[in-house]
Structure 1
C-alpha cells in the first residue's frame, strides 16, 4: 500500500494537478493584489502628473504635496478642439494622449493648463511622441507671449539608460528655458535638439544641444514639441491678451 501511495504522488497526473492548483492559487493572489493596489497606483499617477505640470513653471514639489500646489497655481484646465474652440464635454486632466494620437488630428482633444504664478500667466501644453524604442512624453510651459519657454519636463517608456533616458534629467530640461518657438514673422518653428553644441546663450536660434549618442530620441523630442504646439495655434490666435504675432 505504501508503495502505491508513493507511486501515485510521483505520477505525471499528480504533478500536472499540483501545477494547475499552484497556477490558480498564485494567479488569484496576484489578481487580488493588482485589484487592491489599483486605486493607489492611479492616485500616484495622478499626483505625479500634477508634479510634472508644476515643474514646468519652476515649482518643484514632492508627489505628496503636489495636489495642494496644483490647486493653488493651476487656475484653468481647458480641453480644446482642433479649431481652437473649447470642448465642454471633455475633462482636460483625464485626456489620454496615447489614445488621442491614434485618432485623426481633427478629432483629437487637446488639453491645456493655465497657471498663474505671482501674477505671471503660463500656458502648459502636454506632449507625446516617439523615441528610439517606444513612447516619450512630457509638458512644456510657455510664458504669456506663448513664444518663450518657461520650462519643460520629459519622460519615456523605454529609452536607453545613459543615452536617450537622459531626457528626464534637469540639466537637459534646463536647456529649453527661455528658448523662442516663433520666428520674427510669427511662424511656429519649435525647438530642435541638435548636435554641435549650439550657443546656450542664444535663445532665438530654435536649437538646444543634443545628448551624445541619443540622436533618435532627440529627434523625437524635437518632433513632438513642434507637432503638439501646432494644434494650439487656433486657440492662441483667439486670445486677445497674448502679445506675440502668430501667423
Structure 2
C-alpha cells in the first residue's frame, strides 16, 4: 500500500484507534473487580465507624444481619450472611433519595438497615442518609441503640465539600456530637437539628453546625430528617415490639380462645 496516500493515513488511524480502545477496555475490565472491592471495603469501614468501631474490627463479626424495608416498614429482604453481597449493602441510596423526593409509592422504596452486634453485647440499628451538599452529594449512616431513639454513632462523608468548611462533616469531631442525642422526644419524632450558632445547652436533639459551612450543615440536617422519616414506619414497628411485654415461661396468656363464658 502506498503510504503517501490519504487512504493509508485514514486506515492507519482507524486501526490505532481500535487498538487503543481495546487496550483501554481490557485495562478497565481488569481493574473493575479491584475497584469494586475497594468500594465495598470502604463502605464496610464506614458502617463500622457509624457504631464507633475502627478498622481493626471485623465487619462479618459485627454486621451479621441486614434487611431491606419499604416505606410502610415492611421487611422485603433479609440477609444473615455475606452481608457485603446482600441487597441491602448494594442499594443505591442516590436512587432511593430521588424516589423519596418524588413521592414514590411507599411500597416501591427499598431502604437498607444493618444490625450490628457490638463488643459490649448490645445491638445497634444502622440507617442510611443521602442528599445534596454545596458542591456534590453528601451521605452517611446513623446508628440507633435498641431503644430506636438514642444515637449510638454516625459517619458522614462527601464528594466535594470545601476543605475546612463543609468537608468537616467527615471529621470525628463533628460526628462525635451526635452520640447520645435522641431522635424522639416523649415518643414524638424530632430528628436531629444541626443548629447554626450552636446547640442549646441541655438539648437532646441538637448539635452545632459547621462554622462557615452553613449550606452543608442545612443539607445534612435535611437529608437526615428526610431519610429517618422514610424509615419511621419500620422504626415505630420495632419500638412497639420492644414495648410488648414478653410472657413469663409457663404463664397462660389469656386469649379469646381460652376464656369461657357462663
Q: Would you call these one fold, judging by a TM-score over 0.5? A: yes
Q: What is the CA deviation profile of residues 67-115 of structure 1, one whole-angstrom value per residue up to 9, with x for unaligned ones?
A: xx12111232111011111103882122111222233151111111111
Give the 3-state SS of the residue equivalent to 1:146 in structure 2: coil
Q: What is aligned with 1:102?
A: 98
Q: What is aligned with 2:194?
A: 193
| Range with greater deviation from structure 2 (80-89 or 33-42) | 80-89
- Is the CA contact (8 Å cut-off) linking 1:191 and 1:208 kept in structure 2? yes
Give distance in 1, aligned partners of 2:203 and 2:21.
55
In the alignment, structure 1 residue 73 sits paired with structure 2 residue 62: yes
TM-score, length-scaled by structure 2: 0.78
Change (3 A) 1:83 1:211: same
Residues paired across the two proteins, number: 228
**Higher helix fraction (1 or 2):** 1
Q: What is aligned with 1:181?
A: 183
Q: What is aligned with 2:127?
A: 125
- Is the CA contact (8 Å cut-off) linking 1:146 and 1:242 kept in structure 2? no
- Is the CA contact (8 Å cut-off) linking 1:180 and 1:203 kept in structure 2? no
Gaps of 5+ in 1: none
Question: Could you tell me which of 144, 154, 157 is aligned with 2:156?
Answer: 154
Give distance in 1, aligned partners of 2:151 and 2:203.
10
Give distance in 2, aligned partners of 1:140 and 1:86.
19
Give the 3-state SS of the residue equivalent to 1:180 in structure 2: coil
Q: What is aligned with 2:202?
A: 202
Q: What is aligned with 1:135?
A: 137
Gaps of 5+ in 2: 79-85, 244-262
- How much has 1:202 moved relative to structure 2? 3.0
